[in-house]
Amino acid sequence: MKKLLYILIALVCCGGIYGATQLFPKSNAIEKAESFFQKRDTVSALNTLEKAGEKGDIAACRYLFHYYDSVYGTPADAYVEVEEVITPDGDWIWYGEPDKKPEGARLPSEDEMSENITHEIVVQDTVTGKDIPIQWYWLRRAAQLGDAESQCEYGEVAQFALGTDSAMVWWEKSAMQNYPRGVLFYGNELYNQALDKKSQTIGLKAFQVLTKAFEYGKELPSAGWHLGLCYMNAVGTSVDYEKGIECLRQSAKYGYPEAIIEMSEIGLEDSSYWENIAKKQGLK
Residues of the chain with CATH 1.25.40.10: 179-280
Instruction: Quote the pLDDT of residue 6.
Output: 31
Q: 175-223: per-residue pLDDT in tens? A: 999 999 999 999 999 999 999 999 999 999 999 999 999 999 999 999 9
Work out the widest C-alpha separation in the chain, in whole angstroms. Answer: 74
User: Is 28's pLDDT higher than 60?
Assistant: yes
**Residue 127 pLDDT greater than 60, yes or no:** no
Mean pLDDT (the chain) is 81
Phi, psi of 118 (to 5 degrees): -105, 155
- At the top level of CATH, which class does the domain 179-280 belong to? mainly alpha
pLDDT at 75: 52
CA quadruple 80, 82, 83, 88: dihedral sign: positive
Exposure letters 197-210 (e unless 16+ CB within 10 A, then b): eebeebbbbbbebb
pLDDT of res. 90: 53
pLDDT at 120: 36
Find all residues with CB under 8 Å of 55, minimum gap 6, and list them: none
pTM of the model: 0.73
Please check the confidence at residue 24 and state whether its pLDDT lies above 90. Answer: no
Residue 19 has pLDDT above 70, yes or no: no
